[in-house]
């Protein structure tokens, strides 16, 4: 079954450029990242050891895991450096005015 | 050949010297730029084997790179606690980390368990602690062993014996320096005149506007030596004004050239081939045209003025506005000239406003035939402005051109010219039947000074 609806999860006012934050949607923790290239949504748990990426750091279009320092490209979730090898799931984002909405597909 | 036979190293090109040009500056010239410090260092050839022998490169790794001060990154690369920077030099790898709000520390990037590199790659990263990806030993930002899975199996391991190995780490001018020798003397001694001179040109108040890292097809020494003299200006850059540059040797570790921009002397080209720029000499207008790459307001020199004055004044306006800095009292020489300080073995700092570069040359891994050239533009920062996050390096391969690096503009073709001879030179070292290269006594003296200090490093350690 596919559930394609966009759900509003945050506002731009609370997520200025250069910041990331975690939100809970449909029993999942999702990481929102606002970079110069836009707003992106990814799984919040690192594919290496499940550390919370919201406690890591956003540098440009990379998010860095606080536990072992793996880097992921926030634009598509791909793993950029060891020890992570698997990428993060990423989700579609729609920004309307101040509202950030994401589509979590099951 | 010389009519009056001056002492070796005493002869100079004809025409206005740098000191004479600086004496006509429209503003007060900072005192360090008036210093002159040249001494004749000998005229023996430098062995070609130093550039091509794997054995020589091995000695450099053991005795030079293991023991000299070298910068890793800017302080603004690691502003927050947990920010780190991994630096590779030959076979070695070092982690520099902001371990507390006002503390920066450095460690050997190798796990005390089974030696795995804890962080891969090079460049900026972040983590709250270091955890080795192999068996998960973890270390605090101070390097202390923290967690050890199955500690019951390691009764012989403790915080004292198995913490990360510290590396000496100090800062100067906004740069973070390391020295892999735990017994090395302080950085301040190694910097010789740099702190005194650069108190006039504070590099900590600059930001990285652009960082280009290129692989070059020559030994690191040959690569940097292409930037230590202005003698190549005529042939390599088709430029009129390399011959009057001033060269200074301040000690074992620091040397400098000052290369005036926006003037030249036809006399300095007396024995250069052809009549180019001699008969007839360039007019002030033609000289100004050569500076049009700076994007100047004037395209003609008003009567009674020089191209140099006009260009410096236009740059005061243009850069003052762009950077939000008042340059009205800044000297022509600082506005225009290529003023290049070298710190042994491989670092260059330019105090100029328009020519505001930093270079670093190092071996490319353990390959004797190639090197990595880090090129940074270090732009002055407006008073009170915070350091922005530095840009990631733009990486160029051997085959790529500097013109592919966005933001380099007119400098792209110039650096292509500078680096365009290197593959030929590296091949030439191997072809040569003459065992060594020959250096000019004055214009290439800084190159000789580097080889002399290098020999001290290689010999000293050999006697230990
Ligand atoms: S848990 Fe993220 S890198 Fe290990
Ligand atoms: S090698 Fe690092 S934990 Fe084993
Ligand atoms: Fe050059």
Q: What is the pLDDT of residue B463?
A: 44
Residue A60 has its nearest CB partner, among B82, B119, B392, at B392
Q: What is the pLDDT of residue B3?
A: 57
> In this structure, is residue A19 part of a structural domain?
yes
Number of domains within chain A: 1
Sign of the Cα pseudo-torsion (B439, B198, B67, B221, in order) = negative
> In this structure, is residue A90 part of a structural domain?
yes
Sheet holding B338-343, edge to edge: B246-249, B254-259, B338-343, B347-349, B357-364, B367-380, B206-216, B394-396
Residue B413 to chain A, least CA–CA distance (Å):
29
Q: What is the pLDDT of residue B328?
A: 98
Q: Are residues B230 and B148 in the same domain?
A: no
Q: Are residues B305 and B396 in the same domain?
A: yes
Q: What is the pLDDT of residue B461?
A: 56
Ligand 3 centroid from CA B34, angstroms: 23
| Interchain CB distance below 8 Å, A56 and B127 | yes
Interface test with B, best of A69, A70, A84 (most B CBs within 10 A): A69
> In this structure, is residue B4 part of a structural domain?
no
Burial class (CB in 10 A: 0-12, 13-18, 19+), B248: buried
Number of domains within chain B: 2
> Tokens standing for B248?
């200074």
The CATH number for B436's domain is 3.90.380.10
> In this structure, is residue B1 part of a structural domain?
no
> Tokens standing for A67?
């536990």
Domain of A36 in residue numbering reads as 7-103
> In this structure, is residue B5 part of a structural domain?
no
Q: Are residues B271 and B353 in the same domain?
A: yes
Contacting residues of A for B119, CB less than 8 Å apart: 69
Query: How many angstroms separate the first and last alpha carbons of chain B?
Result: 46
Give me the residue label for tokens 């071996």: B363
Residue A48 to chain B, least CA–CA distance (Å):
9
> In this structure, is residue A1 part of a structural domain?
no
Q: Are residues B373 and B241 in the same domain?
A: yes
The answer to whether residue A2 scores a pLDDT higher than 80 is no
The CATH number for A56's domain is 2.102.10.10
Q: Are residues B378 and B287 in the same domain?
A: yes
Nearest of B164, B159, B133 to residue B146 by alpha carbon: B159
Protein residues placing their CB within 5 Å of the ion ligand 3: B 418
Q: Are residues B41 and B78 in the same domain?
A: no
Segment A23-59, tens digit of pLDDT = 999 889 999 999 999 999 999 999 998 899 999 999 8
Q: Are residues B33 and B129 in the same domain?
A: no
Q: What is the pLDDT of residue A88?
A: 97
Q: What is the pLDDT of residue B114?
A: 98
Q: Are residues B385 and B454 in the same domain?
A: yes
Counting ligands in written order, which one lies closest to the CA of residue B232? 3
User: C-alpha dihedral over B415, B417, B419, B422, to 10 degrees?
Assistant: -170
Q: Are residues B269 and B324 in the same domain?
A: yes
Q: What is the pLDDT of residue A105?
A: 73
> In this structure, is residue A2 part of a structural domain?
no
Domain of B110 in residue numbering reads as 70-183
Sign of the Cα pseudo-torsion (B430, B431, B433, B438, in order) = negative
> In this structure, is residue A25 part of a structural domain?
yes
Q: What is the pLDDT of residue A81?
A: 80
Q: What is the pLDDT of residue A1?
A: 40
Q: What is the pLDDT along chain B (464 residues), one digit of tens a residue?
A: 455 678 999 999 999 999 999 999 999 999 999 999 999 999 999 999 999 999 999 999 999 999 999 999 999 999 999 999 999 999 999 999 999 999 999 999 999 999 999 998 888 889 889 999 889 999 999 999 999 999 999 999 999 999 999 999 999 999 999 999 999 999 999 999 999 999 999 999 999 999 999 999 999 999 999 999 999 999 999 999 999 999 999 999 999 999 999 999 999 999 998 899 998 999 999 999 999 999 999 999 999 999 999 999 999 999 999 999 999 999 999 999 999 999 999 999 999 999 999 999 999 999 999 999 999 999 999 999 999 989 989 999 999 999 999 999 999 999 999 999 999 999 999 999 999 999 999 999 999 999 999 999 999 754 44
> Tokens standing for B102?
């006002």
Q: Are residues B89 and B172 in the same domain?
A: yes
């Amino acid at each position: 079954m596919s559930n394609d609806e966009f759900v509003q999860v945050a506002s731009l006012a609370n997520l200025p450029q250069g910041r990331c934050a975690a939100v809970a949607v449909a029993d999942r923790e999702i990481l929102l990242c606002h970079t110069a290239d836009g707003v992106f949504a990814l799984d919040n748990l690192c594919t290496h050891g499940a550390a919370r990426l919201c406690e890591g750091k956003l540098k440009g279009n990379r998010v860095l895991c606080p536990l072992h320092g793996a880097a992921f490209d926030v634009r598509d979730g791909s793993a950029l450096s060891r020890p992570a090898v698997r990428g993060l799931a990423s989700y579609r984002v729609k920004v309307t005015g101040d509202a950030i909405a994401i589509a979590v597909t099951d | 050949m010389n009519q009056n036979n001056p002492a070796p190293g005493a002869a100079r090109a004809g025409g206005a010297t740098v000191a004479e040009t600086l004496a006509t500056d429209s503003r007060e010239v900072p005192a360090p730029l008036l210093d002159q410090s040249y001494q004749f260092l000998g005229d023996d050839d430098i062995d070609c084997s130093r550039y091509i022998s794997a054995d020589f490169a091995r000695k450099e790794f053991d005795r030079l790179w293991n023991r000299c001060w070298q910068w890793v990154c800017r302080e603004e690369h690691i502003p927050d606690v947990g920010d780190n920077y991994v630096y590779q030099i030959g076979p070695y790898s070092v982690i520099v980390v902001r371990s507390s709000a006002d503390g920066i520390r450095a460690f050997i990037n190798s796990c005390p368990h089974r030696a795995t590199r804890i962080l891969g790659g090079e460049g900026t990263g972040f983590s709250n602690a270091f955890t080795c990806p192999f068996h998960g030993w973890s270390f605090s930002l101070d390097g202390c062993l923290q967690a050890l899975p199955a500690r019951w199996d390691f009764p012989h391991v403790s915080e004292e014996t198995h913490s990360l190995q510290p590396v000496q780490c100090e800062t100067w001018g906004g740069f973070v320096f390391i020295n892999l020798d735990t017994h090395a003397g302080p950085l301040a001694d190694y910097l010789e005149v740099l702190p005194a001179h650069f108190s006039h040109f504070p590099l900590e108040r600059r930001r990285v506007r652009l960082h280009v890292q290129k692989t070059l097809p020559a030994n690191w020494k040959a690569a940097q030596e292409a930037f230590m003299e202005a003698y190549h200006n005529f042939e390599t850059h088709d430029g009129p004004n390399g011959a009057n540059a001033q060269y200074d040797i301040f000690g074992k570790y620091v040397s400098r050239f000052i290369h005036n921009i926006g003037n030249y002397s036809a006399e300095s080209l007396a024995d250069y081939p052809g009549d180019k720029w001699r008969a007839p000499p360039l007019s002030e207008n033609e000289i100004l045209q050569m500076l049009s790459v700076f994007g100047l307001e004037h395209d003609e020199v008003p009567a009674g003025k020089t191209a140099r004055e006009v260009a410096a004044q236009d740059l005061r306006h243009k850069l003052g506005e762009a950077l939000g800095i008042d340059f009205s009292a800044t000297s022509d020489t600082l506005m225009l000239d290529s003023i290049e300080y070298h710190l042994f073995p491989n670092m260059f700092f330019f105090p100029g406003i328009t020519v505001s570069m930093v270079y670093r040359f190092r071996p490319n891994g353990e390959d004797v035939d190639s090197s990595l050239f880090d090129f940074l533009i270090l732009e002055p920062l407006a008073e009170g402005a915070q350091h922005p996050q530095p840009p990631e390096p733009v990486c160029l391969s051997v085959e790529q051109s500097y013109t592919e690096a966005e933001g380099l503009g007119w400098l792209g073709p110039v650096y292509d010219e500078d680096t365009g001879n290197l593959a030929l030179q590296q091949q030439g070292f191997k072809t040569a039947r003459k065992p060594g290269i020959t250096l000019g006594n004055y214009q290439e003296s800084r190159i000789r000074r580097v080889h002399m200090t290098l020999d001290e490093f290689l010999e000293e350690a050999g006697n230990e």
